[in-house]
Chains A and B, each alone.
Chain A
Amino acid sequence: MSRLLPLIGFLLLVSLFGFGIWWNTQHDQREIASPLIDKPAPAFALPVLGEPSRTVDKASLLGKPYFLNVFASWCIECVHEHPMLMTDMKRLGLPIVGFNYKDEPEAATTWLSEHGNPFDVIVADRDGRAGIDFGVYAAPETFLIDAKGVIRYKRIGPITPEVIEKEIRPALVALAKETP
């Protein structure tokens, strides 16, 4: 029996991988990446990076659509994405809320001072609990949340010029049509 154990363990892994492939075919990560789309964003109240005494919650951000960008200093892809946030994303004219995910505050602050800070406000989710509510898989991720606090769009992975043209702009156009 003990000789069969490695095989059984491997078959468990295989079923996990089979599931992973199936999951990927069911969920095109580029189009619909979250069950939270068109649902209210989860409520959160998180301290501001660098000012732990001040907290920002979901309610205080209502009233105007905004982007929420999940980043971390340990995230390699975030370095590649960052120039896009600094330029093209800022030009879209919406506030960008930084969501510093599972990160050391000092590391995040130095990272931002090196690469530049595109964010209007940054909340720190040190233990990643709010991240679980948002279904964060891995940084970077970007959410578009409308004035009523509903998630309208989510991008897993870095923002590229293509993503802005093909996905984010159409999402913004749809948003503008609703609120004349």
Chain B
Amino acid sequence: MIPELGQFALALALLLALVQGVLPILGAWRGNAALIAVARPAAAGQGIFVFAAMAILIHAFLHYDFSVAYVADNSNLALPWYYRITAVWGAHEGSMLLWVFILNVWSVALAAFSRHLPPAFVARVLGVLGLIGVGFLAFILFTSNPFVRELPMPADGGDLNPVLQDPGMTFHPPVLYMGYVGFSVAFAFSIAALLGGGMEQAWVRWARPWTNVAWAFLTLGIVAGSWWAYAELGWGGWWFWDPVENASFMPWLVGVALIHAQAVTEKRGSLPAWTVLLSLFAFSLSLLGTFLVRSGVLTSVHAFASDPRRGLYILGFLIVVIGGSLLLYAIRAPKVATGKPFAPLSRETGVMVANLLFTTAAAMVLLGTLFPLIGDALNLGRISVGPPYFGFLFVMLMAPAVLLLPFGPYLRWGRAEGRQLTAMALRAGVAALICAIAAAFFAQGHLRAIAGVAGAVWIGAGTLSYVIKRWREMPRGRRFPVEMAGMLVAHAGVAIFVIGVMLSESLSVERDVRLAPGQSESIGGYDFRFDGVEETEGPNWRADEGVVTILRDGTTVGTMHPQKRTYSRGQVQTESAIDAGLFRDIYVALGEPMDANDVQGAWALRLYHKPFVRWIWLGGLFMMAGGFLAACERRFRAKKILAAEGKLKAEATPA
């Protein structure tokens, strides 16, 4: 009975989404206050029923309701409760429900925290979100219903893909979705502004905190996914340029461009059309990612179900949403160049160059991801491009971004002074050079490591020098507005990230060894002593667990327990053991027993010493923190927009 209630809740949510999508937009168009007032209650209603459906599906998983086909396919009696909750989004149907759930989290938050905005504008924004909700709810109900019954009910279920049975997977999908579904808010703001017309600067200010928060969540989601791949896939990589990863990375790249373009439009009134276009792109790429992952167009090597009906539906939805919004843009985009004039050497120009680099990078990733499809269409056969293509082009595009980044804060709006820039470049350049020379002694000729240190110090020193300048020149309390602090933290994150990537990529040592119990192997200054293999057992798996003692100069640093698990359905999964540290990770994966007849009991082991690998995710976390911090800027929450506008002009901040 309860699963039917879930289905019922989804149907009601669909009806309310229709109401939310149609009436408020009509009301805003006709100036009908009664219809405008429908927006908030309708959003709340849709939210309640979607949350209920989600709760019902979780309830079904927690209570082993195997009469629900989705539950039976993705969980079993032995699965621990926390993985039964995450199994909710372990496959297609539940992922789509999670998508709608997150969309409603954003809609409800927007309905609650938008009291200071003009009612007609809020009505349009919530209306657009309602229409997106209609599309996804109908998709779930008609093609991917998670509440379908399976009769007769099986005694036990299948299993959640063991790859997904990992702590990283518990929060990676929801956080990632918070990010790219969150771009729907910036999208809705843009559409509302295009529909209403004539208030470029104001709507961008209202959209900024929402965009920053969505981007920060997306950053965290990608970091979590990368960390999961590193810990779970058993061979120490942290990024694979796989279509599913690319699906989240493209909106992230456009998101970087968007949050910078929004700052320009909000503060200077320039580039309004470009900002609108970027917010359309950011969400379009999120939808496109969903399409690529869910339609089966690119899935022959992935585990997702492919059903041509679903692909066609999402394609139709894409045409309506993206095509419709781009058409609206073509008709209603701001026609005249607005905003204050700016010189070739100015912060506006800097942001435009950065925008160009990041959108090109996103286009490059899109092209690479779609390559097999293009190959088919042009009858060249299915050609896929791998890490060599992405790695090379991405570094090519990001190198100028790294080079230009420290100049950003120094560039003044309107017209920048060349003198300050050269002074900064001199200081940061000297610091980078000294550190690169110092690194050359440690890195033993690894050019990438040296370049990484130089690049990171260049950014770090440039950013630090700006911090010092503000500290000296500004009075107490005015030194670091929250928004600027966010920018500086995020930029520092880039420096940390560059260190992590370049050092771990070039200095990591990995070795495959055959060790009998008692033997040891030494890499990166550590001795790895293999102490044999024991059998162990978890709630739904049995494992061979290796015991490896790590010694440094004869003293024990730690003991590691890499496992080779066999799950109840026979899937084998390696669980690497990782000893994490700020400056190095030690990573041990258990391979195969060498030979059944081998009396010594030797095993194949894979040992890694990865310097600075943790800085990759640390850098990502800094970028995320910067995004959240910048969203806290008081100006964004100002009750009276006009008053804030006047105050801002009076202040004429150089920031």
- Write the residues of chain A forming the contact surface with B, with a CB cutoff of 8 angstroms: 3-4, 6-7, 10-11, 13-14, 16-21, 23-25, 29, 72, 74, 76-77, 79-80, 83, 102, 110-111, 113-116, 132, 135-140, 156-158
Contacts and interface: CB of A to CB of B under 8 A. Distances in A.
B235 A3 contact: no
B329 A6 contact: yes
B384 interface: yes
A21 B311 contact: yes
B632 interface: no
Contacts of A158: 301
Contact of A156 (B163, B240, B300, B323): B300
Contacts of A11: 323
25 contacts: A3-B329, A3-B330, A10-B322, A10-B326, A20-B295, A21-B295, A21-B308, A25-B308, A29-B300, A74-B386, A74-B387, A76-B240, A76-B242, A102-B388, A114-B235, A114-B591, A115-B591, A115-B592, A135-B381, A136-B382, A137-B372, A137-B381, A137-B382, A156-B301, A158-B301
Interface string B605-638: 0100000000000000000000000000000000
Q: Is the interface of A mostly helix, strand, loop or mixed?
A: helix
Given A7-B330, A21-B295, 6 more contacts: A3-B333, A14-B315, A16-B374, A23-B376, A74-B386, A114-B606
A116 B592 CA distance: 7
Contact of B291 (A17, A83, A132, A140): A17
A138 B382 contact: yes
Contacts of B381: 132, 135, 137
A145 B286 CA distance: 42
Most chain B beta-carbon neighbours within 10 Å: one of A29, A72, A115 = A115
Contact of B384 (A20, A23, A116, A137): A137
B372 A14 contact: no
B10 to A, nearest CB: 26
A77 B298 CA distance: 14
A7 B300 contact: no
A14 B319 contact: yes
Contacts of B300: 29, 137-138, 156-157
A120 to B, nearest CB: 18
A74 B388 CA distance: 10
Interface of B: 163, 233-235, 240, 242, 273, 277, 280-281, 284, 288, 291, 295-298, 300-302, 306, 308, 311-312, 315, 318-319, 322-323, 326-327, 329-331, 333, 370, 372-374, 376-377, 381-384, 386-388, 510, 512, 572, 589, 591-592, 604, 606
A18 B277 CA distance: 24
B22 to A, nearest CB: 24
A19 to B, nearest CB: 5
Given A76-B233, A114-B235, A21 B312 contact: yes
A17 B297 contact: yes
Nearest to A78: B301
Contact of A18 (B315, B382, B592): B315
Given A10-B322, A135-B382, A16 B373 contact: yes
A156 B301 CA distance: 7
Given A10-B323, A114-B591, A79 B330 contact: no
Contacts of B306: 24
Contact of B330 (A4, A14, A29): A4
Contacts of B591: 114-116
B377 A19 contact: yes
Contact of B386 (A18, A102, A132, A135): A102
A14 B329 contact: no
Contacts of A74: 240, 386-387
Nearest to A77: B301
Given A76-B240, A114-B591, A135-B381, A24 B330 contact: no
A14 B318 contact: yes
